[in-house]
Amino acid sequence: MSEHFDLIVLGAGSGGLAAAKRAASHGARVAIVEGDRVGGTCVIRGCVPKKLLVYGSAYAQLLADAPSYGWPVPPVQPDPATLLRHVRAEVDRLNQLHIGFLERAGVELVRGWGRFADAGTVIVSQADGAERELRAERVLIAVGGRPHRPAIPGADLGWVSDDLFLLESLPEAVVVVGGGFIACEFACILHGLGVKVTQLVRGDHLLRGFDREASLAVQEAMEEAGIEIRFAHSPSAITGQCAPGEYTVTTQSGEQIPCGGVLLATGRRPFLQGLNLEAAGVAVEGHRIPVDADQRTNVPSIYAVGDVTDRVNLTPVAVDEGRAFADSVFGQRPRQVNHELVAVAVFSQPELAAVGLSEEQAVARHGAGAIRVHRARFRPMSQALPARGPRALLKLVVETASDRVLGCHMVGDHAAEIIQMAAIAIGMGATKADFDRTMALHPSVAEEFVTMPN
């Protein structure tokens, strides 16, 4: 017998949770279907546990600098097993917290994996083999994405980012494959926890899509710290034995690199497997579900938000998409999400954060003669006494004719915290003159944004 709801949400990640709770607050009867833990990629195997590992790995540099500030710390060794255990405990706590949020919101959590029987019917396969049939006027697909493994022999021997959070200990040496933000973040985490890291990058630079000058600043800092980055290198095979943890990565040039583990940070794809989208008539474009500005698929009663749409794959975007959907459909407050100006960050060491156009994007859109660039590159005061460490980079990309700031970029400690505030100004259309009129807060790194000469 079918159970009837106003809304069925497939996936209890950031976007699905936000949509379900907001729709319920508007009076809708909502079921949310999840076969894994509640919280999705961000809470369970992404942003949150990763950032905790970033904090843990950063103590290597803090302890190294401590003697310069009068704290003669004796040599110590990291204990990654303890850190990993504590991170998993925090993830477990957050999982329970989100389950409680759903209960208080009046959303029914249906455990299991959902698939379409038709446009308004979802069959949920539960762990005990039983099935539940749910029906609703509207269905929201919010199942997120999954890491993608390259099609090479032995790819199953490598880790994806999800696997790192489940490790009990870390090997002495790891090969990281990839040049994107996940690869760079984990290369820095592993290095900070005492692991020898070799990073293989298929292209000629890190962090494709970010400002080239900023990505180069991150690269220089990573290499200075001791991470070996090899450009124009791709793996052709992985061999070894899982139990001993001894592997060999063979590159396309025939070079063999021994290691204790391989992290395949080679991209993510929407998680469409098992949804039976054909039964509902939902169109798929490549690996993603295309939607319009109202999050609607080609089927009028079916919507999608978050990474499954493969637009701007960030947690705050998925949350806003989910809430906009619920407000529009159930709250009689129609609105659409603006994907044009979204702040982004890479939690490498040092951090990279940005909002707006990179220098390359600005040139492509407006022409080289129509923009000017202001930058500051310096060693921050926090590194004055140790007299070492990476230099910070602060950069403004400005449209010459209007003086409007098109992009704001930073590489350095607390870059994400600083760019978050800059995003407000950029979103309001701030000009370079507006930045210049702002009184500096001294001494700080962020003051460089308002003291850059014209």
Catalytic residue positions, numbered: 442
For 269, phi then psi, to 5°, come to -135, 150
Length in residues, the chain: 454
Coil vs helix vs strand at 327: helix
Listed residue (175, 299, 303) closest to 236, CA to CA:
175
Give the tokens for residue 372: 């000017």
Instruction: List CB contacts of 146: < 8 A, sequence separation 6 or more.
Output: 162, 268, 269, 271
How many angstroms separate the CA atoms of 13 and 31, rounded?
14
Torsion angle of alpha carbons 233, 344, 388, 217, nearest 10°? 50
Q: Within a 13 Å sphere around the CA of 404, how many CA atoms are in the beta-carbon half?
A: 12
* 231 bridge partner residues: 201
Coil vs helix vs strand at 296: strand
Q: Which helix (H) or strand (E) element contains residue 19?
A: helix 14-25
CB 201 within 8 A of CB 179: yes
Q: Tokens 């990476």 map to which residue?
A: 390
How many angstroms separate the CA atoms of 192 and 226, rounded?
10
CB 10 within 8 A of CB 275: yes
For 379, phi then psi, to 5°, come to -90, 125
Q: Within a 13 Å sphere around the CA of 131, how many CA atoms are in the beta-carbon half?
A: 11
Listed residue (152, 162, 344) closest to 268, CA to CA:
162
The 10 Å CB-count burial string (b at 16+, else e) for 154-190 is bbebbbbbeebbeeeebbebbbbbbbbbbbbbbbbbb
How many angstroms separate the CA atoms of 193 and 81, rounded?
10
Give CA 244 to chain center in angstroms: 31
